[in-house]
Amino acid sequence: MALSEPALYLRLLDIAANPHIVSLYNSLRNVLPEAVWWVSDETLGRIPFPAAPTTPFCSEALLNENLRNLQIEKAQELHRKPPSPGEVVPCCPGFCQGMAVFSYRSRSLGGIGLCHVPESQAHLLGGILTLLSGYLNLLSHTLEGNDDLEIVRSLWSETITVLDLNTLLRRVMDEIFRTISVDSGLIFLADEDGMFFVAHAEGVDLETFQCRPPAIGRISYAKQIARLFQKGAQCLDADDPLAVWIRANWPDWADKKILVVPFFRNEYFVGLFATGVAQPPAFSPSRYRLLDLLSAGGATALDNAVIFKRLNERRTALATIHTIHRLIGSTDTVQDLICRVSQQARQLLKAGKCALFLYDNRRENLIPRFTLGLDENEVGSRPVKPGDGLIGWVAESYQAIIYNPIPESCPPWRKDGSRYPERSYLAVPLVDEDLEGVLMLSGRKDLFTPGDRETLITIAEQIILAIHNAFVREGERHLAINTLRGMANLLERGDPTTTGWTVEIADFSDRLARHLRLPERDRNDLLYASLLCRASLLRSANMFQSDPASFPRVDLKISCDFIQSLGLSERVQRIVSVVGEHYDGSGEPEGLAGNQIPIASRILAVATAYVAMTCSGMRADRKVLTPQEAVEVLHRRAGTFYDPVVIKALEEILGASNPQIHTG
């Protein structure tokens, strides 16, 4: 039964209840957590999305008549002039909104929208609306192609619910095998660049075909196929470019005809199935009709699955961008951020290897700032000059590239002695105002695709922005540390017995932290703590008169208050507050022992004691000890006052520069 009126069975509320739409909402709502999601139907009414009939669409509008009238006006405007995908329009003052429209046969049935989005997040709203529009358009196109309600339901169960492209490719292949009685073949689809590639193969070596993709475009080849095919299956001419390519890459079909089943969705050429046959088969009219149905049905199903796959890739990329934005605020150091964003890119594209390069200060060489999984002399494992190898070529040309090494390949770059052991490499430039570096991925089972390239380009834009911001924050941190050093020296200058001791302790603490391989964030916290541990510098001239391991509690309290007033992290306060603890638990203020004491506090205690015993002017009533003597004192107190591991690190550091100091 043909359905002339979509309103007889289509309701936007039912469309919005589709589990894939709800799943999309669940994956995107955290991107704009303050946004209000809603569904608007033909009546212009708006209700919350997901459906919650007892909840008002907007609680603010219930209390503000002007706002309620404004919302009605905006809703009517959205319906009179449906927005283009991703279009953002004003909402309340300072906020924006948008709607993804669902249309059936050019008739708008309403849409799914978001409002109360701050204007500063309009770009994120635009991305979400574009994604929603893609999903709704896909559903609309599917329904428009099937006027009969039972056919629509069948397509929803047989094609719309099959979201995994690989599963669908196997199903289509099996149906064609049964229909034409063959047991081997290839399915070609077009990538995002419109070029054919082998998406699935059975009975032949898929890797052989994937390593040497045909240089055949979908649009140009569609015209040739459309002229050739009057039925659902036919053999290609001997000189057809696709037939020539297939026979050249698969010797078993070198003397065979290439039989193909094209996949046309209306006039849109989706792809084709190809196999080798000894003679052109003679199919019955009913078999040809069956092949026509397979061609049309396969085209619809495969086109839907490809669109779903690409939309899901975009959704995942959008979520990764959101994660990178969160890393900008939660990562303390440039190197830590580089490691984490590189890992995000690697995980997104399921790559086993990764390298991120940045220019050196003179912009003469590209330096690897992060590498993972690379072998010795493999591309990405060492610094390169612009133009040399894959990395240098991307930096010099500003172009992203997918490189699949094969013996006869002739890459456009100067050889630099690097090896290319993986099947596929993907490298993109990192561009801010100028090119700043290169991001490269490799080491995955499948070849990289143009879709992967576009995804990584999008991610790379956010990565270099995050790195730039991290460099700015690191510069501010260095400025703050240098300011604290200057303040400490200035305050200590009034008392010659303490001049320079704060900076000395800070530098020695940092040497110990580096020797013990503390993470960069922990080293920065220790540096702040060591510079601020004695904030009451004017009262500290006699603080080492008694025991080098004792710290007056009043000084630590003043220091912690000062650290808090500067807005530094609680980690820094914690380092200072427990620096007077002893390794055996006999210290103050909490009686902590062993690893209960933060490692930074244990390092700071050793550094302070060592500097106190060896610096002139800090022991007014005692002899200044030599480094050897100080180490012996500390060694005797290892395990009681001090951490033996830190004492051993101290001995190793001093022993490297002074062989007379005993280590071990």
For residue 494, is pLDDT > 80? Answer: no
Give 193-221 pLDDT, tens digit per residue: 888 889 999 998 887 777 778 888 888 88
Listed in sequence order, the residues at least 6 apart from 289 whose beta carbon sits closer than 8 Å to its beta carbon are: 232
Distance of alpha carbon 466 from alpha carbon 260, whole angstroms: 49
Question: Nearest 10 degrees: CA dihedral of 290, 291, 296, 302?
Answer: 120
The amino acid present at 628, given as its one-letter code, is Q
* Residue-averaged pLDDT of the chain: 80
Q: 368 or 42: which carries more pLDDT confidence? A: 368
Q: Identify the pLDDT of residue 149.
A: 38
Which distant-in-sequence residues (6+ apart) come within 8 Å of 646 by Cβ?
Answer: 512, 516, 599, 602, 603, 606
Q: What is the model's pLDDT at position 430? A: 93
Q: What confidence tens digit (pLDDT) does each residue in 285-306 have?
A: 767 777 777 787 788 888 888 8
Tokens standing for 276? 């080798």
What is the tens place of the pLDDT at every residue in 432-443? 888 999 999 999
Placement of tokens 């503390």 in the chain:
518
Domain 331-466 in CATH 3.30.450.40? The answer is yes
Residue 265: count other Cβ atoms within 10 Å of its Cβ: 19
Q: Which numeric CATH code is attached to 6-151?
A: 3.30.450
Sign (positive/negative) of CA torsion 403, 405, 410, 416?
Answer: positive
Between 387 and 307, the more confident residue is 387
The pLDDT of residue 596: 92
List, for residues 315-353, the tens digit of each pLDDT value.
777 777 777 767 666 666 788 888 888 888 898 889 999
Does 2 have pLDDT greater than 60? no
Determine the length of the chain. Answer: 664
Phi first, then psi: what are they for 215, rounded to 5°? -90, 60
Calculate mean pLDDT across residues 501-530: 87
Overall average pLDDT of the 538-559 stretch: 51
pLDDT, position 543: 42
pLDDT tens digit sequence for 391-408: 999 999 999 999 988 776
List pLDDT tens digits, range 150-164: 433 444 345 545 667
| Architecture of the domain whose range is 493-657 | Orthogonal Bundle (1.10)
Please give the Cα distance from 453 to 55 (Å, whole number): 43
**Residue 641 · residue 549 · CB < 8 Å:** yes
Give the pLDDT score at 302: 86
Q: Please indicate whether residue 250 or residue 494 has the higher confidence score (pLDDT).
A: 250
CA distance 177 to 169: 12
Reduced to 3 states (helix: H, G, I; strand: E, B; else coil), residue 168 is helix
Where exactly does CATH 3.30.450.40 map onto the chain?
A: 162-311, 331-466
pLDDT value of residue 597: 92
> Considering the chain, what percentage of its residues have pLDDT values greater than 90?
17
Top pLDDT among 452 and 536 is at 452
Give SS3 for 300. helix
Q: Return d(Cα 219, Cα 239) in angstroms, integer.
A: 19
The residue among 493 and 94 whose pLDDT is bigger is: 94
SS3 638: strand
CATH 1.10.3210.10 spans which residues of the chain? 493-657
- DSSP-derived letter for residue 624 is P
Beta strand 353-359 with 435-442 is: antiparallel
Most confident of 278-287, 437-446, 652-661: 437-446
Q: What are phi and psi of 592, to 5 degrees?
A: -70, 155
Amino acid in the structure at residue 212: R
Residue 549 has pLDDT above 90, yes or no: no
User: What CATH fold (topology level) applies to the domain 162-311?
Assistant: Beta-Lactamase (3.30.450)
**What pLDDT does residue 176 have?**
86
Greater confidence (42 vs 112) lies with 112
Tell me: the pLDDT tens digits for 594-653? 999 999 999 999 998 888 888 765 545 567 888 888 888 898 999 899 999 999 999 888
pLDDT band at 266 (very low <50, low <70, confident <90, very high): confident
pLDDT at 146 over 60: no
> How sure is the predictor about 229, in pLDDT bands with cuts at 50, 70 and 90?
low
Could you tell me the sign of the dihedral formed by the alpha carbons of 401, 404, 405, 407, in that order? negative
Please check the confidence at residue 139 and state whether its pLDDT lies above 60.
yes
Place 54 in a pLDDT band, splitting at 50, 70 and 90: very low
- Please give the average per-residue pLDDT across 479-490, as a whole number: 77
Is a pLDDT exceeding 90 seen at residue 568?
no
106, burial (CB in 10 Å: exposed 0-12, middle 13-18, buried 19+): exposed
Q: Residue 276 and residue 254: Cα distance in Å, rounded?
A: 9
Mean pLDDT of 54-82: 61
